[in-house]
Amino acid sequence: MSTTKEQDFLKKLGSKIRLQRNEKKISLNQLATQFGFEKSSISKLENGKSNSTILTLMKLSHALNVPMERFFH
C-alpha cells in the first residue's frame, strides 16, 4: 500500500499529464489509438490510480510532444 505522500504525488503527476493532453486537444481515445496506449491505462494514470514506468512517461511525452519535465513542474 502506498503512503499518502506517494498517492499525492501520483495524483499531481496525473493531473499534469491530463493538462498537457487537454492543452493539445487530444482525447483519451485519440491518444490510445494514435500512439498505441490502452485508454484505461492512461485514465488510471491521469487519475492517480496507477504508477507508471519512466518509459511510459517518456512515450507519453513524445506522443504529446512535450518535454517530460512538464509532468513534474
Which residue matches cell numbers 512515450?
Answer: 59
Q: How much is the average pLDDT of 46-64? A: 93
The three grid cell numbers given for residue 26, joined into one nine-digit string: 487530444
Q: What is the pTM of this model?
A: 0.89
pLDDT beyond 80 at 1: no
Is pLDDT of 51 > 60? yes
Percentage of the chain surpassing pLDDT 90? Answer: 88
pLDDT at site 30: 94
CA distance 44 to 56: 13
Q: Is residue 61 scored above 60 in pLDDT?
A: yes
Here the cell at position 9 is 504525488
Beta strands in 2-70 (DSSP E): none
| pLDDT of 56 | 92
